Every structure is written in C-alpha cells, then in structure tokens.
Amino acid sequence: MIDFMKYLRLNRIGLVCLVIVVCCPAVALAQSGGAPLGSQTLGRAYWHVFVAYAIAWLLVAFWLAAISRRLGRVEGRVDHSVDD
Amino acid sequence: MNRSRMKKISMSFGILGVAAILLLHYMVFFWVPTELSMGIVQRIFYIHVPSWWVAFISFGVVALCSGVYLWLGDDRLDAAAVTAAEGGMIFTTIGLLTGPLWGKIAWGAWWTWEPRLTLALLLWFIYLGYFLVRRSTLNPERGKRLAAVVGIIGVLDIPLIHVSVSWLRSLHPEAVVLNPDGPTLDESMLATLLVGLLAYSLIFVCLFTVRYSTELVDRATQMQDV
Amino acid sequence: MKYLSVVWAVARKDLLVEMRTLERLTAMGAFSVLIGVLFHFSIDTSLIRVQTIAPSLIWMATIFVGMLGLGRIYTIEDENRALSGLLQSPISLDALYFGKVLSNSILLLSIVVLILVVFAVFFNLSFPGGWLGWISLSGVILLGVLSFVSIMTLLSAVAVNNTMGESIIPVLVLPLLVPIVIHTVTATNRIFANRPFAEIEGNLRMLAAIVLIFLVAGASLFRFAIEE
C-alpha cells in the first residue's frame, strides 16, 4: 500500500492525465464551429461546465490527498514501532 | 484479505477508473450530441447524476456495514462504514455543487428548494452528524456504536427523498433512467451516462480500498501502542 | 400485558416527575407563547395574510418547543445515576424506549394544544367547521407528534456523555424532520382550507408510514444508543 502511493506520486503520466481532464471543457468549443478560440467569447454556460468538472476533480483530489496524508502518518507510526 | 492483495485490487480499479474517466471526457466533449432545450450546460448531467448514484450507494454501504457492525461487533465493518461515509460526503458535495451550476442556466435559479435537492442537502448534514457523533463521544467504542445508529437512521432518509418528489410534484426532472416506462434519454446520452457511472464507481472503489486498508493499519498500530 | 405495564410504568414515572417539578412544561409553555409573539413581529401583515401561513408557524413552533423540551429526556435521570440503575433493571430496553416515547408524546401533545389556542388568539385563526375536519386535524397532530418524539427519543440518547452535549441534537434531528414537516404542514393547510378528506388522506397515510418506520427503527436501535 505504501509503495502504491509512492507509485502514484511518481507517476507523471497520471498527473498529466489529471491536467488534461480538468482542461477538457475548453475543447467543447470545437463543437460550435470553426472559428478560432481566441476570437470567441466563452459563454456563461461554458464557464458553468468548466467549473462543475473542476469542482468534481478538485474534491476527488482532496480526498486522495487526505488519504495520502493519513497514510503518511500511519507509515511514520509503523516505522517508529519497528525501530522500537 | 491481505495488504498486497488489497494493493493489487486498488491499483487495478485505479487504472480502470482513470481509463474510464478519459473515455467519459472524450464522450462528453467530442461524441455525445448537445441537448436541444438546455444546451451545453446539460453536459454537467454526466458527472452530476453519477456522483449522486455513487453517494447513495456509499450511504447504503454505510447503513449495511453499520447494521452488521451493531450485530456482530466486528471492527472491520466500522472501518468500512467510516470509509464509505467519507466517500459519500465527497460525492454528495460534488452533486450539491454541480447541481446549482446546472440549475442556474437550465431553470434560472441557483437553488429551487424543491424536495429532492433539499433532502439531498439534508443527507449531507445527516452524515456530518455521523462524523460529529464519532468525534464528540467520550468513549470511542460508544462513539462507533452511536455513529452506526446515526448511519442506519440516515439511510432511511433516502427513500423518503424519492417519495417526496412524487408527493410534492417538484421542479426536478422526472427520473429519466429509472422510469417504469423505460429510459427516456437518447441512446448516446444514456451510453455516456452509464460510462460516467462506471468511471465514478471505479474511482470510488479504488479510493475506498486504499482508505479502508489505511484505516485498518491505523487501528492495528494504535492497538499495539496501547 | 406485562410488557405494556412496563411501558406504562416508565411513562408514568416520567410524567410524575414532570408533574412534581413542572420544569419542562413551564419552559415549553412559556416558549410557545413567546415564539408566537416573535412570529407576529417578524411578519409584515400588510403584505402577508397570516392565516395562510399559520399551519407552518404552528408546526415550526412545535418543533422548536420540542427541541427545547425533549432534548432533556434523559437529564431527569442524571441525579444519583438513575439512568445506570434503569439500564441494569430487568426491563427490556425497547419497553423503556416506548415508555419514553409515550410520556414525551403526552407532554408535547399538551403543548401543541396550548400552541393552537395561543396562535388562534394571536392570529385570529378559524378552525375547521365539521367533525371530520377536527378528526383529521387530531390525526395529523397525533401522527406528527409521535413521529417527532420517536426520533427525538432515540437521538437524545446520543447527547448523553457527549462533549457537544445537547447542541448536537439539532444537527442530528432537523434533517430527519423534513418529511414530517412536509406532510404535517400540507395536511394542516388543507384542513384549515376545508379541503375534502380525500386530499388529506395521502398525507395521513404517509405520516403513519413515517411513524411506523421511526418507531421500529427507534425500538431496534435504542439499546445501542443508550448503553454505556
């Protein structure tokens, strides 16, 4: 279990995937026509979609971070008792 | 079940979950058509509904594990219940925050006070009570028992949520999948929704197994210290 | 019959203690009147016709009064560790639970009668005309109070030996009261508007189901909540 969390932290592919999926809502504009992104005004609905997906990922990441922190504490306690 | 087996299970679910999430995002942003009446904001549906389903399933796990914990007294069941409650709170929060973002565009109001949304908010508070009871009871063993009682009582709220919709004829959309006449979603939208449900379930199971095994090790080391 | 006599003995003991001290009744009674006063001053009667929202005010007052009085269900057994004595006695814990539900229901029902009288005077309410209206109103009040008391009796046990004390009870209880509030207020609104019984029947059935669910769950889970 301890190795798994280290595996996740070191896995840059996982981090890159996370960045891609958070930024994904912006590509919804590709469906609205061929105009370049810069000349379009992002409508309110697009912002709502982006924020919604970002919230979902942030909360899942928050839980993951909380688990990771707890695991770190447990690791410390296990190492401490092994040393004893 | 030993720890290395748990590690393999959680890694498998984690990898499958990430793959399903990538597929979901592809389907949501490149494949599924835009809904006619609500427009682009309807795409929130594909994370809003799966988060609710996972939340309700996890609360069901809380109630089941709490009930069996009270019956058998096995501490592992309490560990599973508290883990599921944490996950339930996270996914309920996702549902409660994404719902208004959808509702503001679709129905013109951030919060409509219709029964199902309100009772889902109340379910969040019930499980807040679950954690408060655990932490504030002087005797930790009694705290686990009381939390189990609160967990079981809380899950009774879920059918009342569903029944309240039919009683008060709320604004919330009629159930588009669990409809006695059959699903009323377009096929591609239904497929995307099911992929969303699968993706969220896999992510939940992955994080659940990691958190659960951490909780077991934590309790075992605390017992050793004592 | 022995079971019922145990239930009645527990209820009678609580009611006797309350009759001798009148602590909770006094506080709840005073609160009922004062909350009516506050409601009057919080509503702009030039904009809102109070009679249309009176059922909501009645049930809100009932809930606030119930929270005040019923949060202290087990504090009457604080003295001389009477609760431990009660738990060690040979009575079954679900009989203890039903006894507590019975005594507290009687207490709260008497306060609800006071609330109805006070609010009728303060807000010039007119009650339903026929006997069916009165029976329906009695049914709604009885079922509403029973469902509220059944869940309060279970969850008040949580506050015993708790660092948060009674302040944890509203967090636990209020979310569970929403279905009760929906059906009691809807039914009471319809009764006051002299709607046909067919429109009220559904709410009564739902309240009866809620009472059944909470009583069964309460009796089953009570021993886990009350044991030390």
Three-state SS across chain B? Answer: CCHHHHHHHHHHHHHHHHHHHHHHHHHHHHHCCCECCCEHHHHHHHHHHHHHHHHHHHHHHHHHHHHHHHHHCCHHHHHHHHHHHHHHHHHHHHHHHHHHHHHHHHCCCCCCCCHHHHHHHHHHHHHHHHHHHHHHECCHHHHHHHHHHHHHHHHCHHHHHHHHHHHHCCCCCCCCCCCCCCCCCCHHHHHHHHHHHHHHHHHHHHHHHHHHHHHHHHHHHHHHHC
- pLDDT, residue C75, reads 75
**Predicted pLDDT at C87:** 78
Q: At what angle do helices B45-72 and B140-155 cross, to 10 degrees?
A: 130
pLDDT value for B7: 84
Question: What is the structure's pLDDT at B222?
Answer: 81
ipTM above 0.90, yes or no: no
CA angle B223, B10, B149 (to 5 degrees): 50
Higher pLDDT, B213 or A21: B213
Q: What is the pLDDT of residue A25?
A: 57
pLDDT of residue C50: 86
DSSP C22: -
Residue C74 is predicted with a pLDDT of 81
Helix (H, G, I), strand (E, B) or coil at C164: coil
Kindly determine whether residue C171 and residue B132, on different chains, have CB atoms separated by under 8 Å: yes
pLDDT > 90 in chain C, percent:
59
CA-based torsion, A32, A37, A38, A42: positive or negative: positive
Of all residues in chain C, the percent with pLDDT exceeding 70 is 98
Render pLDDT for C157-209 as a digit per residue (tens, 0 to 9): 887 778 888 888 999 999 888 889 989 999 999 999 888 999 899 899 999 99
Nearest to C182 among B115, B137, B146 (CB): B115
Report C:138-177 residues touching B (Cβ under 8 A). 151, 154-155, 158, 161-164, 168, 171-172, 174-176
Q: Mean of the pLDDT values across residues C1-17?
A: 91
- How far is the first Cα of chain B from the last one, in angstroms, to the nearest whole number? 25
The pLDDT score that the predictor gives to residue B40 is: 86
Q: What residue ranges define each of the domains in chain B, with the CATH number in brackets? A: 3-33+42-225 (1.20.120)
The number of distinct structural domains making up chain C is 1
Interatomic CA distance for residues C148 and C179, integer angstroms: 11
Residues of C in contact with B150 (CB under 8 A): 155, 158, 172
What pLDDT does residue B118 have? 74
- pLDDT score at B173: 57
Q: How far is B81 from chain A (nearest CA, A)?
A: 16
The end-to-end CA distance of chain C, in Å, is 29
Q: Among B121, B103, B128, which residue's Cα sits nearest to residue B161?
A: B121
pLDDT digits (tens, 9 = 90+) for A41-52: 557 778 899 999
Contact assignment for C155 to B153 by CB distance below 8 Å: yes
Over residues C72-95, the pLDDT tens digits come to 778 777 666 777 777 778 888 999
Mean pLDDT for chain A overall: 72
**pLDDT attached to residue B182:** 45
Whole-number percent of chain A with pLDDT over 90: 29
Mean pLDDT of A12-33: 58
Region A28-48 average pLDDT? 60
Structure-model confidence comparison of residues B80 and A77, the more confident one? B80
pLDDT higher than threshold 80 for residue C225: yes
Average pLDDT over residues C12-38: 92
The DSSP secondary-structure symbol of A34 reads S
CB contact under 8 A, B160 and C163: no
C139 pLDDT band, cuts 50/70/90, is very high
CA distances from C39 to A10, C31, C54, C59, C119 (A): 61, 12, 10, 12, 10
- The mean pLDDT of chain C is 90
**Chain segment B153-171, per-residue pLDDT in tens:** 888 776 776 676 556 654 3
Low-confidence ranges of chain B (pLDDT < 70): 1, 114-116, 119, 158, 161-162, 164-184, 226
| Domain hosting residue C208, numbered range | 2-226
